Amino acid sequence: MKIGLFNDSFPPTIDGVANTMLNYAKTLHANGDEVKVVTPKYPHVEDNYDFEVYRYFSISAKPFSEIPYRVGNPFSPPAATHIRKMDLDIIHIHSPFVSSMLVGQAFRFTAKKPPVVVTYHTKFDIDIKRYLSRRHSQRLMEKFVLKNLKKADEVWAVSAGTVDSLRAIGFTGSFRIMPNGTDFPKGKADGALVNEIDRMYKTKDDKLVFLYCGRMMWYKNLKIILDALRILKNEGISFRMFFVGDAPDRPAVEEYSKKQGLGADVIFTGAVTDREMVRAYFSRADLLLFPSTYDTNGLVVKEAAACGCPSALIAGSCAAEGITGGETGILADGESAESFARALLQAVREPDLLKKIGINAQDKVYMSWEDSVLAARKQYDEIVAKKAERTAFFQKKR
C-alpha cells in the first residue's frame, strides 16, 4: 500500500508527534509498505531514511513562538502537484492545522481523493486558549480545526481523555481510539551506559533516583514535581532527581528548583537525543515523575514501563489511563504538590514496592510501536475497502 504520512513536525524537531510519525514510517516501511512522509522543509537538513521524505516550503515560527518549529506553506502549487503524483492509497494526517490544509488544497479540484485519517494527538482546546486571549479568536481557531477534522474519513484519538478535548472544540462525530507505542524494547539499557550516568553525575551510591523526561514547560506540572520534592526532603527522604529535556521554560524551572533549596539533589541534563542514552536514564531511575494533565497519551509512561521503571501520575489524567494504583503505577488523588508528595512518600517507604510495580508495568503497560502501528495498518485496509465500496456504489447509481 502507498501510505502518505503528513505532519507539521518531523525530525530534527523533537516532540511526541514527530516521534510518532517517525515510528509509523519506520514500522510501515519495514513491513513492506511504500511510505511517503510529507512535512515542512528545514534548512540544512538531509533525510537519510529508507522511505521517502518530501519537504515543502516553510518559514520559521519564531515570530510567533519561542519553539524552533517551521510553518509550512499549505498553498504551495509545487507541493500540491507533487502530492497528487504520489498516487497514494491512504493519507494519515497527524495535525489538524497546516498538514490538513495542504491535503485539502492538493485534492481541491480533483475527483479522485484517497481516504484520509486524522489523528488528534493534543488537547488543542487548551492550546488555543493558552495562545489566543480573545474568545472570538479562540472560536475562529476551534472552527478551523473542526472543519479539518470533518473532512477526514476517520478521526482517531490517542486516549479516551483526548475525546473530551475533541468534544470541547465542538466535534460530535465518531472516532476510534488508537494508542501510541514506544520504540524501546523490553528490558534495561546497556549497563555500561547506566554506569556512565552514575559516573557523570556521581549518583552510584544514591538508593532512590527519580526522573522526569520531556519538554521543560511549566504546563507539564513541573512546579508540582519540585514542590513535592521539597516536601520529601523536609520528611528526611534522600533522593536524586534527573530532569532530562529542554524547552523555553528550562531556565525558570532551574531557578525555581534553587529557590526550593533542592540544590544538588536535582540534576538538569538538557536535551538528550541519543535514544539509547534516554533509555539508560529510564533504566537508572526508580520512579518516573509525570504529573502532567496536559499530555494526551504520555509516551514516557510506556518508555518507562519498557525499562521496568514505574510511573507516578495524577489519577484521572490521560497519562494514567490503564494504570492501576499500587499495581502498575503510583497514582496521586489530586493535582497538587501535597497529594503528589503523599503518594510518593507512601511508595518509597514500602520496601521493594517500586521494583514490584516496575515489573508489573513492563508486563501490562508496555506497548511497542510494532504492535501499535500494525493495529493501525489493519484499520487502513478496512478504511480503503470501505471507501472503494462507497465509490463503486455511487458510480453504479449514476
**Torsion over CA: 12, 3, 372, 291 (sign):** positive
Which residue, chain included where needed, has cell 528526611? 236
Q: Enumerate the β-bridge partners of residue 5.
A: 37, 92
Q: What are the pLDDT tens digits along the chain (398 aa)?
A: 999 999 999 998 878 899 999 999 999 999 999 999 999 999 999 999 999 999 999 998 876 555 668 899 999 999 999 999 999 999 999 999 999 999 999 999 998 899 999 999 988 888 888 888 888 998 999 999 999 999 999 999 999 888 889 999 999 999 999 999 999 999 999 999 999 999 999 999 888 999 999 999 999 999 999 999 999 999 999 999 999 999 889 999 999 999 999 999 999 999 998 999 999 999 999 999 999 999 988 889 999 999 999 999 999 999 999 999 999 999 999 999 999 999 999 999 998 999 999 999 999 999 999 999 999 999 999 999 999 898 776 677 66
79 close to 73: Cβ distance less than 8 angstroms: yes
102 close to 56: Cβ distance less than 8 angstroms: yes
Q: 236's torsion region: left (phi>0), alpha (psi -120 to 50) or beta?
A: left
Q: Which of 299, 339, 349, 342 is nearest to 319 (CA)?
A: 299
Task: State the DSSP H helix or E strand holding residue 226, giving kind and residue range, or none if neither.
Answer: helix 222-234
pLDDT at 24: 98
Q: Beta strand pairing status for 52-56 and 34-40?
A: parallel
C-alpha cell of residue 368: 511497542
pLDDT at 206: 87
Which residues have CB under 8 Å from 326's CB, separation 6+?
A: 353, 357
pLDDT at 13: 85
Q: Beta strand pairing status for 2-6 and 34-40?
A: parallel
Q: Which of 223, 197, 348 is nearest to 292 (CA)?
A: 223
| Domains of the chain in sequence order | 2-181+369-397 (3.40.50.2000), 191-364 (3.40.50.2000)
Q: Enumerate the β-bridge partners of residue 270.
A: 244
